[in-house]
Amino acid sequence: MSKTVDHRTHLVLENYIGGKFVPVSRHIDSYDPSTGEVYCKVPDSGTDEVEAAVQAAKEAFPDWSARSPAERGQVMNKLADLMEAQLEEFAQAESRDQGKTVVFARTVDVPRAVYNFRFFASSVLHHTTDCSTMDHLGCINYTVRSPVGVAGLISPWNLPLYLLTWKIAPAVATGNTVVAKPSEMTSVTAWMMCKLLDEAGFPPGVVNMVFGTGPRAGDALVGHPDVPLVSFTGSTATAQRITERSAPFCKKLSLELGGKNPAIIFSDADLDQAVTTTVRSSFSNQGEICLCTSRIYVERSIYPEFLKRFVAATREWKTGSPSDPDNDNGALVSREHLEKVRSFVTLARSEGATVLCGEGEDPLVLPEHNSNGYFLRPTVIAGVAESSRLMQDEIFGPVVCVNPFAGEDEAVAKGNGVRYGLAATVWTRDVGRVHRVARRLEAGLVWTNCWLVRDLNLPFGGVKSSGVGREGGRDSYHFFTEVKTITVKH
């Protein structure tokens, strides 16, 4: 709910526009998920704030785009160094804002955010363009790539700084200026990063941060006629709205959306490794990663043994205070999201499925100060119909469904039996099967005998309702630039 605030009692964020922090009169409550208490006030920006940010970005574009990639890379590397020097502060803030454990923020979120800047500062130096000769006509053809202009970047709440920098870094490396809108639920680390931009050497207006909701700030950004490019990570429903708003302007879009990712475990798999990794792929970051496993299909001959081991290992996955280094999971991001995830468990019971562990089955003991937080134990459900919403809809929490299959064809059919197609994992020792199944699965990424191994040079994105476009080393370079063919007759 938007309201004026008492600046004495909470952390109050400000937009960052044209190299300056700009206060606003309207704010949104932001909660600490581990306690359920308001601790921060986030700007409730709208059309005016977005307009100011876009104008600042437009004014900064000529100078920034004229700099060499190496010069821009120096600034990006300096920002990475400054962020790394404050890694612990960023990790503590990310944990409090999002609900994840401090350990996860310290070892995953913040290091990857730092690396995003270093990676794109380097990779932008190594791309080549195309050239061809037409000797019979006395012509030579070559291509050049130029930055697009002002990039609109909208990032989600699950990996806030990690995914925000995944967009900002390639955008500015290629010479664009940006207006970014983080999720209103997890804006603090973006605001902290803005404090370092001037010291890093970013000229005013190159990076602008406008905080607020999707319907107000996000809608104003994607519908702005001077923002020719939009990169969005979030829900499929929101992406549909972005596509509609962008269509009149023919904007370039990169949309990384939801997933309903299958893990397919064949009878010849290394069961110890499959169980351990699939627990991690199902429940890491409270299951709030678009790449998390949501459906597990196990070959029938090993199904009982896998299920027994998997449930036992899941019960060892600890949920509790994010500051406790012994905990694997913290709190879900909001009360509304917690209730949504719980509703899927309720649905499972109403449909006759079996909840084997977790929500409603195992006690969750929390410290007193976390008693009102948004916690849910990792939950395993068996016997769910393939047509159920549990198998078809994105839950985005620590809930996974397990079903058996008989044969490779059935495994692939079940894996592909949803509208999403972001990622999949396959467990088998059969090298031929690895390649066959990976090719047949309708997914943008397929991991075999592992999970979340990422080479940032390679494409990232999904098929079907999981997205449009790809990002990564070369793909981000292509997305954030426009190509031009030049022909010279000699």
Residues with catalytic roles: 256
Where do we find the tokens 């081991």? Answer: 309
Segment (H or E) for 30: strand 27-32
d(Cα 227, Cα 328) in Å, to the nearest integer? 40
Rounded Cα distance between 166 and 398, Å, is 25
The number of beta carbons lying within 10 Å of the beta carbon of residue 371 is 10
* DSSP string across 337-387: HHHHHHHHHHHHHHTT-EEEESTTTS-----GGGTTS-----EEEES--TT
Residue 44 burial (C-beta neighbours within 10 Å; 0-12, 13-18, 19+)? buried
Task: Give the whole-angstrom CA distance, residue 288 versus residue 304.
Answer: 27
Reading the block at residue 239, the tokens are 């992406």
Q: How far is CA 162 from CA 112, 114, 431, in A?
A: 6, 8, 33
Asked whether the CA dihedral 40, 289, 247, 180 is positive or negative, the reply is: positive
Cα-based distances in Å from 52 to 62, 205, 384: 17, 10, 51
The closest alpha carbon to 21, from 29, 12, 30, belongs to 12
Query: 265: helix, coil or strand?
Result: strand
Q: How far apart are CA 201 and CA 270, in angstroms?
A: 50
Given the structure tokens 């009692």, which residue do they identify? 9
Q: Give the residue carrying structure tokens 């494409």.
A: 459
328: Cβ contacts below 8 Å, ≥ 6 apart: 101, 283, 284, 317, 318, 319
Closest CA to 11 of 105, 372, 34, 32: 32
With contact defined as beta carbons under 8 Å apart, do 53 and 208 qualify? yes
Instruction: Return d(Cα 346, Cα 360) in angstroms, integer.
Output: 9
